[in-house]
Amino acid sequence: MKSLLQKLTQTPGPSGYEHQIRDVVENEIKDLADAYWIDNLGNLIARKGSEGPKVMLAAHMDELGVMVTHIDEKGFVRFLPVGTVYPRTCLGGRVRFLNGMTGVIGAERQEDINRVPSFDQLFIDVGVSSRDECPLQVGDVGVFDRQFEDLGRRVTSKALDNRIGVTVLIETLRKIAAENIQIPQQVFFVFSVQEEVGVRGAPAAAFDISPDLGLAVDVTGSGDTPNGSRLEISLGKGPAIKVRDQGMLSDPRVVQWMVQTAEQHGLPYQLEVLPRGGTDARGIQVSRSGVPAGGLVIPCRYVHSPSELADIEDAQNAVRLLVELLRSPFNPEGTEERSG
C-alpha cells in the first residue's frame, strides 16, 4: 500500500487538470474491474458486478494547487489558490507547475513580521529576472512540491488528501478481484474530479449511475495534536465513520450499518462529527431524488497543507471494512406511497 500511495501522491493532479493522476489510476484498475470508463467531466468510473443494488464508492483524485494570474516585469509570478489553500502554509514552500517549472513562494516585506500575509502579498520566484525569461503564462497551474516520506507506521506527503482515499479504493478493488470475493451487488468505484473546488465531479457521476447507496472515502482532521481541534479523532485508532460535516448529515441507517459491520468483524472505527469541511458525500446525497449516503474517512493531521500525515494502518483497516460492507448489502426500508 505504501508504494502505491507514494506513486499516487507524487503524480500531479490539481483540480480541473487530473489527466496525469487519472492515467496512473486507470493503469492500476483496468485489469481488476468488469468495465471502466471516463465520463464527460473526467471522472474515472470502474464497475464490479452486473446485478443487484448499485453502490457508489467515491474518492476524489484532485489535489490543491495554484494558478498564475499575473507576471510582473521582473518575472515574479502572482497566483491564486486552486482549492482551499491557506497562506500560512505557503511561505517558503515550493511549487511545481505542470510544465515542469519549479518555483519558491515568497512574500512582500511587511512591517509586522508576525502577521500572516494575504494571497495578494505572495508571489512565486521561478529564478528569472524578467517577464520575457519567465517560462509561465497566465492560467498555468501547479501543485505543491513535497516528497513522500515513510515514517514507519505513519507517512507524510503532499496530497494525502485524497490520494490515500484513492489508494483505499484501488486496494479494495484489488482484494475483491484477487480473492474472488462474491459481492451481491453492483459496485461503482468512482475516482472523482474537482472535489477541492466545490464537489463537482461526484454529483455528475452519481446522476449517471443513480446509486442506491453512496459512500465517500476521504480524509478527515484529527484532534490528537497539542492544543488541537476538538475532534474525537486520533491517528491509529481506525478509520472514521462519518456522522456529520459542514455539507451533509449522513443517513442514520448508513451509519448504523457501518458501525454494526465494523463491530461484527472486530474492526476498529471512530465516529466523525466534523464542524468544517466536506466530501463527495454531499454531492452524492442530493443527486436525482436523493441517495442514502455516508462516508468512511481516514484521520489525517495538517490537512490542506503541503505536508499531511496519516497512519497507514487506518487505511488498511478502511480496506477491510469496505470489503465487509460490500459483502453485507445495505437494505434500507423502501419508500411507501401514502394518500391523504
Residues annotated as catalytic are 195
Strand 240-244 relative to strand 293-301, pairing: antiparallel
CA distance 276 to 48: 33
Q: Which residue has the cell 464527460?
A: 40
Residues paired with residue 97 on neighbouring β-strands, in sequence order: 142
C-alpha cell at 74: 521582473
* The CA-based dihedral angle spanning residues 37, 170, 61, 235, taken in that order and rounded to the nearest 10 degrees: 160
Residue type, 105: I
List the beta bridge partners of residue 155: 150, 310
> Which distant-in-sequence residues (6+ apart) come within 8 Å of 56 by Cβ?
188, 190, 205, 206, 209, 211, 213, 214, 215, 284, 291
Residue 122, H or E segment: strand 122-125
8 Å CB contact between 139 and 115: no
Of 32, 5, 328, nearest in space to 189 by CA? 32
Listed in sequence order, the residues at least 6 apart from 149 whose beta carbon sits closer than 8 Å to its beta carbon are 155, 156, 157
C-alpha cell at 223: 484532534
Greatest extent of the chain over all pairs of C-alpha atoms, in Å = 76
d(CA 253, CA 251): 5
